[in-house]
Chain A
Amino acid sequence: MSSRNNLPLLAFATAALLGIAVALALLVAPEDVDQGVSQRIFYFHVPIALTAYLCFGLGAWKALRLLWVGGERRDLESYTWIHQGTIFGALTLITGSIWAKASWGVWWSWGSNQLVLFLVLFLFYCAYFMLRFSVDEGARRERICAVYALFGVALIPVSFFAIRLASDFIHPTVFTREGPQMTGTMFGTFLVCWAAITLLAYVMYRIELVGKRTDANLRELREALS
């Protein structure tokens, strides 16, 4: 596979882009009038959340392909995407929590629909891992996990809806993240950060996949020798 060779290069490019993104977010982007310096976490929080959605979506796509055309490598790919999605989902919760503390003075707010949604998704995908580790490896596990991953992408919009509805009776939305319109520099910074974090997720996915495949190959080799 020739694509494996470009991985170090890609990783290096990602690191560089991340550096640029951090510099832009902290130094170049203008300070928000209302929220001050804490608003800068927005440049990471939102791209991380979007990347998590992307990872979950790709995990479900691979799961769908697995059910459709088969192929055990798709199981590993689906699992790895969901693993990355869960990592970025946890990061979303952490950055969101920091932002909540900075702007509202509390570590957690049920008023933030996005955070609540990520909490639900985080629970869902933790259950995915529990399921995966309690079914014996093999074709049955691949299929069961794929079906559960598909339920996950259906749950995202349904939960989004549900949380919007729930905020009517549980907690009227007092806080809003919609500050003044983003300026050109702000938007540019946001795009760079988004690109950097998406690329980071992809590189992490590739690295994890290479590691897992090496593991599997080694195991097979050891078995063949014994």
Chain B
Amino acid sequence: MTVLASGDERSVVHGDCIEKRYGRKRVLRGVSFAVPRGGFLVVTGSNGAGKTTLLRLVAGLAAPTRGVLEVNGERGDLGFLGHEPLVYRELTALENLELFGRLYRVADRRERSGMLLERFGLWDARSDRVSTYSRGMVQRLALCRALLHEPALLVLDEPFTALDDDGAGILDTELAALAGDRTVMLSTHDPARVEALATDRLVLT
């Protein structure tokens, strides 16, 4: 059962013996972990180990079949980056950020969007539809959307996917700036890249 409650407890995310099945297929089995406030948890594991599923559970997009999962914070405190970009393909980058900024209650969404698009190198493409973007550009926009409302808890599923060296560099800088201040949960198949930032590690088998 996912418990969403505000309150200053030691760990922001706490999972105990989490199990998740999709139909007859068991994806996660007995996963326990905790992320302290300001912690940086790196989730690794081979393909199909359930990294994506675990992060979707933490984000509240799916519910565990068994076990306890507590996420301390309100719904809008969470920034999620998934396999899919979670944006509208036929809207432009600016229109997407305007819409999501409104729904995520970002007061200064125009300035925030502009700043993020600038930082992720999408400013020149801001008025193009997302469907015309390359995969790397879509991933950059997805990162902008996840960071738009300055979430206290960031849940990032393979954030380096499809990014070129330039984009990965921007993300490195961004993560370094956020680490310590925000709580981060990140899955990757290249843990060396975020080794310096990691405070906790979880290996799924």
Contacts and interface: CB of A to CB of B under 8 A. Distances in A.
Report A-B touching, CB under 8 Å: yes
Nearest to A222: B24
A139 B1 contact: no
Query: How extensive is the interface on chain A, given as a class?
Result: under 10
A218 to B, nearest CB: 12
B23 A138 contact: yes
Contact of A137 (B1, B22, B62): B22
A219 interface: yes
A168 interface: no
A138 B1 contact: no
A142 to B, nearest CB: 10
Contacts of B23: 136-138
B43 to A, nearest CB: 22
Interface centre among B62, B63, B65 (most CB of A within 10 A): B63
Nearest to B26: A223
Interface in A104-152: 136-139
Contacts of B21: 138
A136 B22 contact: yes
Contacts of B65: 138-139
Contacts of A138: 21-23, 65
9 closest A-B pairs by CB: A137-B23, A139-B63, A136-B23, A138-B22, A136-B22, A138-B23, A219-B24, A223-B26, A138-B21
Given A136-B22, A138-B21, 14 more contacts: A70-B1, A136-B23, A137-B22, A137-B23, A137-B24, A138-B22, A138-B23, A138-B65, A139-B62, A139-B63, A139-B65, A219-B24, A223-B24, A223-B26
